[in-house]
Amino acid sequence: MKDDPRTEGTRARSRALRRGGSDAEVALWRYMRGRQLAGAKFRRQHPIGPYVTDFCCVEARLIVELDGGQHAEQADRDAHRTTYLTQQGWRVIRFWNHDVLAQTSAVLEAIARELAQPLDGVRQKS
């Protein structure tokens, strides 16, 4: 699918997003990169289908999304995105940017708990 323009556009968008993350993304990435969190390998701004996820762990089929103030107005779009991702066999958890910055330890613990959950019931894509 190398010639798919939508895929190439998504890849270019993910590269651009990696260069300019929010304060919350930068702060969380500091604790997630290099298998620091529960030994899980996370990817930042990783494209999946037509979407670019904030963080994803392929091994655990887990996506971590951070939401800022603009997400309150786009709840329907986020719900559609989450539905698509779960249909592709991913688990999605969301945190507000404010919580990441103010309660980093609690957010990291919640992610670690989710990583420890078995993949039973999650459809694996081949």
Kindly list the domain boundaries of the chain, sorted by start residue.
5-116
Per-residue pLDDT at 121: 55
pTM score of the predicted model: 0.79
Class of residue 23 by CB neighbours under 10 A (exposed 0-12, middle 13-18, buried 19+): exposed
Per-residue pLDDT at 8: 60
Least confident of 7-11, 18-22, 50-54, 97-101: 7-11
Residue 1: pLDDT above 70? no
**For 42-104, where are the E strands, in sequence order?**
43-48, 51-57, 62-67, 91-96
The strand pairing partners of 44, in sequence order, are: 55
Place 71 in a pLDDT band, splitting at 50, 70 and 90: low
Per-residue pLDDT at 75: 82
Q: What percent helix, strand, coil does the chain show, rounded to 5? A: 50, 20, 30
**What CATH architecture does domain 5-116 belong to?**
3-Layer(aba) Sandwich (3.40)
Place 76 in a pLDDT band, splitting at 50, 70 and 90: confident
